[in-house]
Amino acid sequence: MPRICPCGERIVEEISPTEKEKKIWFTCVKYKDDGLHRRKIWADAIEEETKSLRKDVDNHWERLREFEPHHTQIYNLQMQLQEKSDEIAKLREVVAELSSRVDLLDKLCYD
C-alpha cells in the first residue's frame, strides 16, 4: 500500500462517494489529476504491493543462496575453533601441573 506520494505528501484511504459500488482508493492528500500525485484503486495498489514484496523476497532468497558456501566455511571454522579451545584447555592443565612440579623442585633444591 502506498504511504507516500511522489510529491512527498502522505497517502490516505478514501471511499469513492460517487460510484454505486463504493470503492476504496489510496489517494494523495493533495491529489490533483495532473500526473504528479498518486491515486490508486485499492485492489490495484494491493496487487502492486504484493508484486513488489514478492520481488523483494525473491531477491533476499537469491542473496541467501549466495552465502551458502560461506555458511559451510563458517561452520568448519567454528568446529576448528572448538577443537583448538579444547586443546588450549588441556595445555593449560599441563602447564599448571608442570608449574606445580617446578615449584616443588624449587622447594626441594633451595630450601
Q: What's the rounded mean pLDDT across residues 35-39?
A: 83
Cell of 26: 489510496
pLDDT of residue 69: 83
User: Is residue 11 within 8 Å of 27, Cβ to Cβ?
Assistant: yes
Question: Closest by alpha carbon to 5, among 32, 33, 36, 34?
Answer: 36
pLDDT of residue 39: 86
Q: Is 8 left (phi over 0), alpha (psi -120 to 50) or beta?
A: left
pLDDT of residue 94: 96
Per-residue model confidence as pLDDT tens digits over 79-111: 999 999 999 999 999 999 999 999 999 888 887
pLDDT of residue 68: 85
pLDDT of residue 22: 81
Q: What pTM was computed for the model?
A: 0.49
